[in-house]
Amino acid sequence: MKLSDMKDQSFSHRTLTEWQEAAEKALKGKGISTLHTSTYENIDLKPLFTEVDVPHRDRVKDYIPNIEGKYERASKWYIAQSIKRDSWKELTTAVQDALSRGQNCLSFSIGDLQHEEHLFPFLKEMIGFDTPIFSIDKKTSLSILAMEEVPEWKGMNGIVGFDPLSEEEWSDEDRLEEWMKSVEGADKLFPEVKTIIVNSAPYHNKGASATQELAYSLSEGVAYIEALSEKGWTLEKAAEKMHFHFAVGSHFFMEIAKIRAFKKLWQEVLSSYGMEKDVISRTISISAETSRFNKSTLDSYVNMLRGGGEAFSAILAGVDYLVVAPFNEVSGNVNPFSERIARNTQLILGEEAHLDKVIDPGGGSYYVEWLSEEVGKVAWKEFQRIDEKGGMLVSLKDGFIESQITRVRETRIIDLATRKNSMIGTNIYANLEENLPDTQSTSEERLSLPFEDLRSRAQKLTRKPVAGLIGLGELKTHKPRADFVKGFLATGGIHAHQSQASMSKEDLLHFIEDTRYPYYVVCGKDEEYLDQLSMIVESIHQIDGDIVIDIAGKIPDEKRSKWERMGLNGSIYNKQNILKKMDELLTIWEEGNDSEKA
């Protein structure tokens, strides 16, 4: 078909009922409900959304407050990559280089550097770039806020501060008082800088759901307003100095909805205090960072893709500052190349994808508008629940927040272990030629960590762990299960050696005699197991009674006891808990290595 003909084509209108009928036909009689998915926020997602799902259809524009006032033109965001080096000279050079290559925000981390004599001249030199400053790192922010008052700082704007409530020592109330003193001092030193930070990234990176993040952010915001009001701060002043920071995960639309919903919810909070709507829209300030929770030191280049998608969703949601972490940050191997890729990710989204030229790109989408509303409703209920318990300080101190996050995190890990969810290079499509880096990870609660622990155990073995795969019958009949087993074993660092087609007992014994592995998996069809499994297990154990034998595929319940009595260890099958199974299997080689050393 010619392009000119394609332009003249039109599509006939179809009703939702017609679509449902077509979908059920494709599903071979299964209901549409089988296409629904449930999220960690307990929100049921349909496969299709239409205009009737849009909340407030007559006033959609009013749902998201950030498309008014300062957002009447396409909004731009600040690239706020945090730069860290081992000396002040290196840091100065690196920051200057970043600012000359597209970064439009002064963001850096002091780390272990001594700042007393060097911070002032460093900042004085950076003022010439005329960019806002962005720091939510505690040590860096405290160092900046502790400087003496200098006339040049009066015009500085941006974000400098830290969040004492989302830090690790949640029950330490004295830290809140210490924080308030620094905030009051910072108000005089940097009158144009936002210094009250609500940082929900620590909750996200412990495994919290999107609605939990929102509820905790709202609760923290209220706690800070109440604390500052006792010090004589007005509502307007507290709100003007407040900034919210989020981490953005890989659930693309959920993350868009999370940030969009927050803008509406925080507006509701401030409105309940009596603040005018036009004033509220000028105070809302949001930044985001790409998630650490879903990054892996295994197949680390995949982190580039994860970070790119997360940056995309954050920009669509309308953040003011964005931090894209280098793909190798979790392994502690950040270098100029990975920093450049992270920075260029944002530059591409702005200057090549033109996302800086669109107002509220997600606005009007049936699905995005509906999901924003649903996320907001669930988060508001959780916020009210915390308020009824006495607020965020009480909920942190009594362990309620931590227990709620732990529940979600454990569910996420189980879903990854059973491959309900996929993490490329970690629980699926693992690269056995890859070794874990020697450097220490920067995050000890990442989702991939249990799998990395397995790979680390395999990596420490004296001899490479190899399993034998016995393929029964022709290749085409056993290959699907053999391929599945290879991928399954690879997630724990175990290699697989597949036999030629085993057509007889002699073929089987020849493979076992040649290889003498401590572990074998029999791969075949279910009917072959019924006919040959007893002979196979008996023959292998005649050669070596210590060999561990599994089959590929789930063991029928009615056969389990009998097959275990004849010497079968177990099986490898779809939706099995990989972590539990691989922990069991790696023990085979670990005990074998120990006996060899003895």
What's the Cα-to-Cα distance from 343 to each of 76, 78, 338, 347, rounded to whole Å? 15, 11, 9, 7
Average pLDDT rounded to a whole number, residues 20-48: 90
Beta strands in 403-453 (DSSP E): none
Residue 511: how many CA atoms within 13 Å on its side-chain side? 25
pLDDT computed for residue 72 by the predictor: 46
pLDDT computed for residue 61 by the predictor: 46
Q: What percent of the chain has a predicted confidence (pLDDT) above 70?
A: 92
Looking at the DSSP bridge assignments, the partners of residue 468 are 497, 520
pLDDT beyond 80 at 444? no
Degrees, nearest 5: CA angle 274-68-265? 45
Domains and CATH numbers, the chain: 57-404 (3.20.20.240), 461-597 (3.40.50.280)
Beta strand 321-323 with 37-38: parallel, antiparallel or unpaired?
A: unpaired
Looking at the DSSP bridge assignments, the partners of residue 160 are 135
Residue 420: how many CA atoms within 13 Å on its side-chain side? 13
pLDDT computed for residue 16 by the predictor: 87
The Cα 532–Cα 535 span in angstroms is 5
pLDDT computed for residue 150 by the predictor: 66
pLDDT computed for residue 3 by the predictor: 74
Average pLDDT rounded to a whole number, residues 68-97: 82
User: Hey, what amino acid is at 239?
Assistant: A
The Cα 281–Cα 121 span in angstroms is 36
Q: What does the mean pLDDT of the chain come to?
A: 90
User: Hey, what amino acid is at 547?
Assistant: I
pLDDT computed for residue 278 by the predictor: 81
Helix or strand run (H / E) with residue 416 = helix 400-417
Beta strand 466-471 with 519-523: parallel, antiparallel or unpaired?
A: parallel
Looking at the DSSP bridge assignments, the partners of residue 45 are 37
Looking at the DSSP bridge assignments, the partners of residue 495 are 466
- Which pLDDT band holds residue 12 (cuts at 50, 70, 90)? confident
Calculate helix-pair angle for 400-417, 449-460, nearest 10 degrees: 60
Residues 101-133: pLDDT tens digits? 999 999 999 988 988 788 988 988 888 788 999
pLDDT computed for residue 65 by the predictor: 42
**Residue of higher predicted confidence among 6 and 74:** 6
- Which pLDDT band holds residue 443 (cuts at 50, 70, 90)? low
Q: Assess contact for 295 and 446: CB atoms under 8 A.
A: yes
- Which pLDDT band holds residue 88 (cuts at 50, 70, 90)? very high
- Which pLDDT band holds residue 193 (cuts at 50, 70, 90)? very high
What is the edge-to-edge ordering of all strands in the sheet holding 548-552?
Answer: 495-498, 466-471, 519-523, 548-552, 570-572
pLDDT beyond 90 at 11? no
Q: What residue has token string 């996050």? A: 405
- Which pLDDT band holds residue 440 (cuts at 50, 70, 90)? low
Q: What residue has token string 């401030």? A: 270
Q: At 466, is the secondary structure helix, strand, or coil?
A: strand
The Cα 214–Cα 266 span in angstroms is 9
C-alpha radius of gyration, the chain, whole number: 29
Query: CB 432: neighbour CB atoms within 10 A?
Result: 16
Closest C-alpha among 217, 207, 216, 319 to residue 259: 319
pLDDT beyond 70 at 60? no
Q: Assess contact for 558 and 528: CB atoms under 8 A.
A: no
What's the Cα-to-Cα distance from 60 to each of 44, 64, 267, 461, rounded to whole Å? 22, 8, 16, 60
**Residue of higher predicted confidence among 245 and 187:** 245
- For every residue of 261-306, DSSP letters joined together read HHHHHHHHHHHHTT--HHHHHHH--EEEEE-STT--STTTTHHHHH
pLDDT computed for residue 31 by the predictor: 85
- Which pLDDT band holds residue 593 (cuts at 50, 70, 90)? low
